[in-house]
Structure 1
């Protein structure tokens, strides 16, 4: 496990109030593979809160990714949904949990919010 991934998981409880809302409620098991080893993370998500542990357990969904891909996800260099669609990672179970968890990943470098761009453009034409 990389140090960046460790820091990422440690940061989740503090970031949860800003990231999670709505109906998010369930447990996501994240399996990160390196060579012939798999590290497990259990992420219990509720509206506004997250509990993280380093164990396997009953989960509503399981997401498998290589540790290398996960490092690219936490740096914004890759996108989780695109990785699943390209079969670079796999997912089973409650898809809402996966979609909620991906909100913890940063946007790609250089990404701009289209709403902010439109506001700036509208402000110039007034």
Structure 2
């Protein structure tokens, strides 16, 4: 497992209050494989808080992906929804948890909010 992935999971509890503002709660298991071995993370999401462990347990959703792809996700070089749509990873269970969890991934480098781009364009037209 890469250092970026380890740091990502370690950072989740501190970042949760700013990301988890909806009333959704549940547990997602993330299974990261590197070919012959699978590492699992159990992530309990609730409004404003998150708990992360390496335990196995019941989960409302399971996301299967490679360690390499997950490393690209945590560094902003890939996008979660795109990876599922391209069959690079798979997901089963409560899709709302997947959509909520993906908010923790950084935007790709150079990404700008379209509203900011529109405001800048509108300012130039005046």
Instruction: Tell me if both proteins adopt one fold, taking TM over 0.5 as the criterion.
Output: yes
Q: Which runs of 5+ in 2 are unaligned?
A: none
Counterpart Cα distance in 2 of 1:53 and 1:115: 37
Q: Where in structure 1 are there 5+ consecutive unaligned residues?
A: none
Asked if 1:87 corresponds to 2:87, the answer is yes
1:24 Cα offset (Å): 1.9
State the TM-score, normalizing by the size of structure 2. Answer: 0.96
What's the Cα RMSD here?
A: 0.8
Residue aligned with 1:41, SS: strand
- Secondary structure class of the residue paired with 1:122: helix
> Residues of 2 paired with 1:124 and 1:38: CA distance?
52
1:69-126 per-residue CA deviation (whole Å, 9 max, x = no partner) reads: 0001011111111111111111000000000000000111111101011111222223
Runs of 4+ in 1 over 4 A off after TM superposition: none
Aligned to 2:100: 100
User: 1:22-101 to 2 correspondence within 5 Å?
Assistant: 22-101=22-101
Equivalent residues, number:
126
Give the structure-1-normalised TM-score: 0.96
Aligned pairs (5 A) from 1:4-19:
4-19=4-19
CA offset at residue 60 of structure 1?
Answer: 0.3
* Counterpart Cα distance in 2 of 1:22 and 1:71: 26
CA distances 1:27-83 after superposition (whole Å, capped 9, x unpaired): 000000012110010000011110000111100000010000000101111111111
CA distance in structure 2 between the aligned counterparts of 1:90 and 1:25, rounded to whole angstroms: 21
